Amino acid sequence: MKTSKQWIATKRSSNRKLTCMLWMCFTLTVPLLLSAQTTSPQSTPKKITFENVAYGDHPNQVIDFWQADVKGPAPLVIFIHGGGFTGGSHDKISQKKVQAYLDAGMHHASIEYRFLKHARFPAPHEDAVRALQFIRSKAKAWNVDKNRIAAYGGSAGAQLVAYLAWADDFADPDSKDPVSRESSRLTAVAPIGGQSTLDLDWWVEHIPGYDRNFHGDGKRGDLSEIEQRALVHELSIIHHISSDDPPTFMSYGMHPEASIPNNPKRAQGWSIHHVNFGIVMEEKLREEGVAVFLKYPNAKVPFEDDTAFLMHHLAQ
């Protein structure tokens, strides 16, 4: 059972200490996550059908929605941007990808969420869950097929879409709030340059070019060793993988045997999005019997990219 995945819902009101711990951990990891992005930002595509639709009270809790020209409920692809949980924008999106999905008769949405300067962790994860549930609550009005929703995202966004894909369903059928009664599950997912764990000791051992001095020892004097381990476990998406997870396509920009870049700044960002994170997640997903594909330079996979993969699964 994946009971540990319910930490957002069960601990938000009853365990403020853990929330503070989570904030501390991401304060340590954010600067490096910000050092590189997995995709180059592009200008916002034209013809947004519903722009900056609020799914919460905070200014960052908004969604852009592009509606495909189709009759009847259609599949939806959701994008969640990266930025180390401290920056980025849902407006910076690949126009080419959005148009490709629209041309295929699939809606597209881009989600914004609160950064750590707005609210302590796990606010970004709460927002991702809430945004997906909100979209499902709009299924009739927006012509969305609730059973065919997929997502992709890079870096921090990769962690968020993987959390949606691999966590237990946050739907609360007994809730008085109709949005909370909606499912938070995905049909397929495509994390780009995602990190499998926030155990920095694991990074030192398995990630080429990673220097523990980037973050220090990552510990606080007011946390016991048990609390520290529990915190890292909860933040590591690999621990949420189980047999009922949807088909997954992960992509990285370097070969496992590639040399560390000579430029120090580039090497730092390169290590943060290293394919070794994907390799261990691929192994775990395969162990659980989940359909998974890992793309990196010269890797042979049956899909050209994340777009082709998501289209394949949404068209079924």
Single-letter amino acid, residue 193: G
Tell me the average pLDDT of the chain: 86
Do the beta carbons of residue 60 and residue 112 sit within 8 Å?
A: yes
Which two tokens mark 157? Answer: 């966004």
Within a domain: 40:
no
Biggest CA-to-CA distance, the chain:
59
pLDDT digits (tens, 9 = 90+) for 179-210: 999 999 999 999 999 999 878 889 999 999 88
Q: What is residue 172's predicted lDDT score, i.e. its pLDDT?
A: 98
Give percent of the chain with pLDDT exceeding 70. Answer: 81
pLDDT band at 44 (very low <50, low <70, confident <90, very high): low
Within a domain: 39:
no
pLDDT digits (tens, 9 = 90+) for 203-237: 999 999 887 666 555 554 655 889 778 777 877 89
CA neighbor of 32 nearest in space, from 225, 235, 200: 200
Residues 6+ apart with CB under 8 A from 282: 250, 292, 294
Q: What's the domain range around 253? A: 3-33+48-314
Q: What is residue 13's predicted lDDT score, i.e. its pLDDT?
A: 37
Within a domain: 219:
yes
Which two tokens mark 147? Answer: 């059973």
pLDDT band at 171 (very low <50, low <70, confident <90, very high): very high
Within a domain: 301:
yes
What is the count of structural domains for the chain?
Answer: 1
CATH of the domain at 157: 3.40.50.1820
Q: What is residue 46's predicted lDDT score, i.e. its pLDDT?
A: 60
pLDDT digits (tens, 9 = 90+) for 91-122: 999 999 999 999 999 999 999 999 989 987 78
Within a domain: 84:
yes
Between residues 26 and 92, the one the model is more confident about: 92
For residue 34, pLDDT beyond 50: no
Residues 6+ apart with CB under 8 A from 217: none
H/E element, 131: helix 123-137
pLDDT digits (tens, 9 = 90+) for 226-277: 977 877 787 789 999 999 999 999 999 999 999 999 998 899 899 999 999 9
For residue 23, pLDDT beyond 60: no
> What angle is formed at CA 14 by the lines to CA 9 and CA 19, rounded to 5 degrees?
75
Between residues 38 and 117, the one the model is more confident about: 117
Within a domain: 41:
no
Give percent of the chain with pLDDT exceeding 90. Answer: 70
Q: What is residue 25's predicted lDDT score, i.e. its pLDDT?
A: 43
Q: What is residue 225's predicted lDDT score, i.e. its pLDDT?
A: 85
In DSSP terms, which residues pair with 153 in a beta bridge?
80, 191
Single-letter amino acid, residue 98: V
Range of weakest confidence among 8-22, 168-182, 195-209, 282-296: 8-22
Do the beta carbons of residue 186 and residue 149 sit within 8 Å?
A: yes
Cβ count near 49 (within 10 Å): 16
Within a domain: 27:
yes
Within a domain: 38:
no
